[in-house]
Structure 1
Amino acid sequence: MAVVQANNLLEDQSQVESGPLTTLSSSGPYGTFVGVYDGHGGPETSRFVNDHLFHHLKRFAAEQDSMSVDVIRKAYEATEEGFLGVVAKQWAVKPHIAAVGSCCLIGVVCDGKLYVANVGDSRAVLGKVIKATGEVNALQLSAEHNVSIESVRQEMHSLHPDDSHIVVLKHNVWRVKGIIQVSRSIGDVYLKKSEFNKEPLYTKYRLREPMKRPILSWEPSITVHDLQPDDQFLIYASDGLWEQLSNQEAVEIVQNHPRNGIARRLVKAALQEAAKKREMRYSDLNKIERGVRRHFHDDITVVVLFLDTNLLSRASSLKTPSVSIRGGGITLPKKL
């Protein structure tokens, strides 16, 4: 896991959880959970997701005694509803909380399957090795919800046929209502509930016309992938990485370098590319203060998960100690 900060306040959050995937540690599925939460407008939503989503997932997995698409969807819904409650409580004294949101990418490896769920524009990419040549191919597993993508703009128009300005090209960037680039997120309640799109919210976030229906959605796109022996590793990253590196470039970096420090290597490669675009040296980019750096690149969070299909097939029967990693901190069991 590696993180580089560009904003004054780090808006990215992330976590890796390995062990029981239910609240019933003695039974139920075991596996590995990865979450990358790219906040916008402030860090409150991404921090909330980091504190609550995995717990909701474990609770619903315990109820069903399994991992499933339905469990993941319910975990997203409960997290969204929980943050809506926070907004409702703080609205009177902190109205800006309604304009804070987060992209939310998760991956769950369990019982030989990989579940990937996403709202927003973070991305999960699988590295698949070609045995004959030893080369690696990139397979993107997550769907993105950014209106820079034509199909996403078409989706927004189909959902809002009576609103010709649902997506607007502003300063050469496509934005929902001229405000935000993502069409799905956790939070951003001001574009989901009309009661939070009025004074005392800042004028720049308020719509000119009444909101007939939610404009943004919390519903995740979820894919299920049966893991194969040639599936080597997964790269989960916020869009700050993918703005600089292609899927194929990223998987080749992972494939061609030692595992130790590989997430940091990806971040460095992205920063080198950002510096190159500005015709400056990497060393000079690193000297730029947080806040100002946002003009050169976004916050970047990267998690690389290596896959051993032999171990994964036996993961549910191997009751290994739990490991929990969040951002820059790691929590290990007292006894290994």
Structure 2
Amino acid sequence: MLGEDINDSEGEIKVSFGYQCNGGGDGIPSGAVKGVESRSDIPRNGSFSCLSGAALSANATLANTNICNGLIGSDILPSLDSPNSFRRVLSSPSLSRLDILSSSLQSSMSNLSCSPPSPVGSYETDSYMLKTMSVPTRSDSFLNAVEVQVAGGAAGEDRVQAVCSKENEWLFCAIYDGFNGRDAADFLAGTLYETIMFNFNLLDSESKQYVPSIDSASDESSYSEMEVSSRSFRNGVLDILHRALSQAENDFLYMVEQEMEDRPDLVSVGSCVLVMLLHGNNLYTLNLGDSRAVLATFDEGNDMDQSGRLKAIQLTDSHTVDNELERTRLLSEHPDDSMPVIAGKVKGKLKVTRAFGVGYLKKKKLNDALMGILRVRNLISPPYISTEPSLNVHEISKSDHFVIIGSDGLFDFLSNEEAVKLVHSYISSNPSGDPAKFLVEQLVIKAAHSAGFSKGELLNIPAGRRRKYHDDVTVIVIILGTNHRTSKASTCI
């Protein structure tokens, strides 16, 4: 069944977004790709040459709510919110919510939540990260740019963002896989990127003061200092991702507490989080839950332009009770609770062991807001769900070909190796195609076959009922480097 194509007329897999880098005259000509604005002026010296994305709903969702006193409910991705997939737009990001978050970080009083930032335990954080400083302008940070490409949207309870800058050569992607409702994923989509961007201003401004000058190419001590500075910067980036997530969690749970009398369901709403930042040759990842980032790389010593074998490397951890390390951690953290895992789920409720939100498994008073069978019995030693993310930085090599990031709905049906093999085969034979959309199509084929349906029959089942057969699915494929067949794999529908 794998490799079969889906006709667009048979289902709703019709919309995805793409960003193509085809400068230097050797890319696909302008106008060659339907639905994607060709950017021939984009330089070819970045670390990625293309990204494509696609998504498919399985869950039925309600309209946006008034979480955060209406600030998030009224304008979260208003023109992008598509239950079938997500669209590509060109814009410069608004600073309205960034200004709110900036004042929160400086005054410890947020207009979004009126809650103070929660401290995050620092792990080998450099002293410059902790200094009091004035807020730099947007132009101070490598994450800022005069012109950026922004894409975002929704599929069921999944939310997705992609932001990239051609001039500063960075790419930010995030998938928020919501559950028990869409409020947590909406909150993340509306605040996390701008919180991260604000914090990067601080890091970049300070780190510039610590870059040593090099008077001689033979000055080994200077090179050593530069390596230390580079390592410190990478640690600072990871720390910023960590702190931004902690701030978002603190703000969200505070708002849940304020509104749970009117909406007690908010205490059970949560989201997995997967953030990927590509800057220079460094690929940073942060994750909570079971979304994945999978790197496709050629075996060492093989020529990628010939028959070298691709292997799949998972860059993120799977935070579920099926992961023996996570299960052991959970049991050890609750020695007085004989049943932290019930029927293969944390307290019988969640398969994931780390997640954003889901306050009723973290605070007793939030659990008490629930009635009857919804309330967790014997909540002996909360929190049972951790908000401590897994963080990783990978230095991209010439052997690295592409990265797949996706919500767990993709990996319910495809292994890491299958997904990598499908993408590689597809971009080799379809130079003008969309590998992310192709992966979603292959998932639909497998899900339909498993349920005994044709693919058309499965796609005709309305969202909500179709959740019996597959989860919401969001996929982004990033083609790395400038020498990885970019003329054949630099376009997306």
Is TM more than 0.5 here? yes
Shift of 1:30: 5.2
Q: Matches of 2:312 and 2:401 in 1, distance apart?
A: 10
Shift of 1:79: 1.1
Query: What residue is the counterpart of 1:316 in the other structure?
Result: none
Q: Matches of 1:152 and 1:30 in 2, distance apart?
A: 36
Shift of 1:42: 0.4
Aligned residue identity for 1:13: R
- Distance verdict in 2 for CA 1:278–1:92, change over 3 Å: same
Alignment of 1:121-200 (within 5 A): 121-130=290-299, 131-132=302-303, 133-169=307-343, 174-199=344-369
Alignment of 1:211-250 (within 5 A): 211-250=380-419
Aligned residue identity for 2:263: K
Query: What residue is the counterpart of 1:5 in the other structure?
Result: 57
Taking only aligned residues, the RMSD between alpha carbons, in angstroms, comes to 1.9
Bigger strand fraction: 1
Q: Matches of 2:261 and 2:421 in 1, distance apart?
A: 50
Query: What residue is the counterpart of 1:105 in the other structure?
Result: 274
Query: What residue is the counterpart of 2:202 in the other structure?
Result: 63
Shift of 1:261: 1.5
Shift of 1:151: 2.3
Shift of 1:207: 2.3
1:292 aligns with 2:461: no
Q: Could you report, residue by residue, the CA deviation over 1:8-29 in whole angstroms, capped at 9, with x for unpaired residues?
A: 1210000111139xxxx9xxx7
**Equivalent residues of 2:157, 2:179 under 8 A apart:** yes
Shift of 1:160: 1.0
Q: Matches of 1:192 and 1:18 in 2, distance apart?
A: 35
**Equivalent residues of 1:228, 1:309 under 8 A apart:** no
What secondary structure is seen at the aligned counterpart in 1 of 2:460? coil
Q: Matches of 1:134 and 1:94 in 2, distance apart?
A: 55
Moved more, 294-303 or 204-213: 204-213
Count of residues paired in the alignment: 299
Alignment of 1:29-108 (within 5 A): 31-65=170-204, 68-108=237-277
Q: Matches of 1:226 and 1:137 in 2, distance apart?
A: 17
Aligned residue identity for 2:441: K
Moved more, 99-108 or 127-136: 127-136
**Equivalent residues of 1:263, 1:303 under 8 A apart:** yes
- Using structure 2 for the length normalisation, give the TM-score: 0.58
Shift of 1:89: 2.1
What secondary structure is seen at the aligned counterpart in 1 of 2:351? coil
**Equivalent residues of 1:38, 1:122 under 8 A apart:** yes
Alignment of 1:245-284 (within 5 A): 245-257=414-426, 258=430, 260-284=433-457
- Using structure 1 for the length normalisation, give the TM-score: 0.85
Q: Matches of 2:242 and 2:438 in 1, distance apart?
A: 33
Identity %: 35
- Distance verdict in 2 for CA 1:4–1:184, change over 3 Å: same
Equivalent of residue 304 in structure 1, options 464, 474, 477: 477
Shift of 1:206: 1.6
Shift of 1:148: 2.2
Structure 1 stretches of 5 or more lacking a match?
Answer: 312-336
Q: Could you report, residue by residue, the CA deviation over 1:281-314 in whole angstroms, capped at 9, with x for unpaired residues?
A: 2121111111110000000000111111679xxx
Query: What residue is the counterpart of 1:19 in the other structure?
Result: 165
**Equivalent residues of 1:167, 1:175 under 8 A apart:** yes
**Equivalent residues of 2:334, 2:381 under 8 A apart:** no
Structure 2 stretches of 5 or more lacking a match?
Answer: 1-52, 62-155, 205-232, 485-493
Q: Matches of 1:240 and 1:202 in 2, distance apart?
A: 30
